[in-house]
A and B are shown apart, each in its own frame.
Chain A
């Protein structure tokens, strides 16, 4: 039986549209010539995937020297914003995990756990304020963008994000009412149905954040920002990135101190019982915080490089 020739256009879809428009045809011809009717090896496909990621990084302004420094600083700021979305998720998990921790700690001391918790709480609140200030600063440009035909471009993604937001917010009340009828143990994994509902809700929240990020990425890349507004946004992004590092350090402090003084609390076990402080929730939370803090730092490095070039 004769084998069908490999369809190289499938691989091309990984590349950004602008790159496909310029190099698409010749790239497919090159792939056809190289494969000569055979299927691609895993190494071949991996090389294309890596190349596509690199080109997407260049197209978004996150990689390489951009002809316009503004593109680079805008991309850096957007990366910080995306990293902050991850922090919102991680922060929510941390908040759930640390609920009522003070009762488990030795009384009357100003322990590192309390200090760490305060750092997380205050930096988290400050970060939210800075992000809101950034959003308000970009609002006039956003309105101008929508009036000049931007709504047609963004409509589909905005409606998708709005639907998820309504779903996520709509589920809060029934979930809260349900949780009030459960014990602490049932709320923390003891009730399988509640756990399933809670995890589904958390996934919807994560998807909501991702879809709003996609809306912001799509709109901000097309919006016209004045140099003053862009400068303000990049300064705010730099500050938010520093706060992310502080929050990560604060959360780590909290974990270490609670692990030393009340490890049973982290496992939701009874007072004084022997428990491991390494809970999967906290490991994932801290890992998310570290990855997001690194992404934010990379975004800031792009911003700083663009300032040097400007």
Chain B
């Protein structure tokens, strides 16, 4: 399967950019809210370096954008390009999940 620039770097489920895009898909969030949301839905605790490194790269690539925040906290929202990238990454994963599920059924005679 050819890797497209749109989903580059979004291959693994614990990949910070993928997790951040998934979190922002439900609405804008600032750094701390993002980290808490990701810990809740994925069980992954992103360190501050990984979180803000991913935010920096995602913003550079135009996949997320900052909003005017209150105080020092700046929320981010997913852009149209970010949504397309996430859709592509999720579709890739779904294909893998489908293949994995089918092959597991074949090997075990059905999943419980």
Whether the Cβ atoms of A34 and B48 lie closer than 8 Å is yes
Complex interface: stretch among A47-55, A135-143, A260-268:
A47-55
Q: How large is the interface on A (under 10, 10 to 19, 20 to 34, 35 or more residues)?
A: 20 to 34
Complex interface: stretch among B66-74, B82-90, B93-101, B102-110:
B66-74
Query: How far apart sit A23 and B74, CA to CA, in the bound complex (Å)?
Result: 9
Query: How far apart sit A46 and B56, CA to CA, in the bound complex (Å)?
Result: 18
Whether the Cβ atoms of A51 and B50 lie closer than 8 Å is yes
Whether the Cβ atoms of A51 and B53 lie closer than 8 Å is yes
Whether the Cβ atoms of A33 and B53 lie closer than 8 Å is no
A255 to chain B, nearest CB (A): 40
The number of residues on chain B lying at the interface, defined by a beta carbon within 8 Å of a beta carbon of chain A, is: 19
Closest to A58 in B: B56
Whether the Cβ atoms of A54 and B53 lie closer than 8 Å is yes
Closest to A31 in B: B48
Residue numbers of B with Cβ under 8 A of A are: 30-32, 35, 47-53, 55-57, 69, 71-74
Across chains A and B, which 10 residue pairs bring their CB atoms closest together, nearest first? A51-B49, A47-B47, A30-B31, A33-B32, A29-B72, A47-B49, A26-B74, A25-B72, A50-B49, A51-B53
27 A–B contacts from the bound complex (CB under 8 Å): A19-B56, A23-B52, A25-B72, A26-B31, A26-B69, A26-B72, A27-B48, A28-B72, A29-B30, A29-B32, A29-B73, A30-B48, A30-B73, A31-B48, A33-B31, A34-B32, A43-B47, A47-B48, A47-B49, A48-B47, A48-B49, A51-B47, A51-B48, A51-B50, A51-B53, A54-B53, A55-B56
Contacts beyond the supplied A29-B31, A34-B35, A51-B53: 4 A-B pairs with Cβ under 8 Å? A27-B31, A29-B72, A47-B47, A54-B53
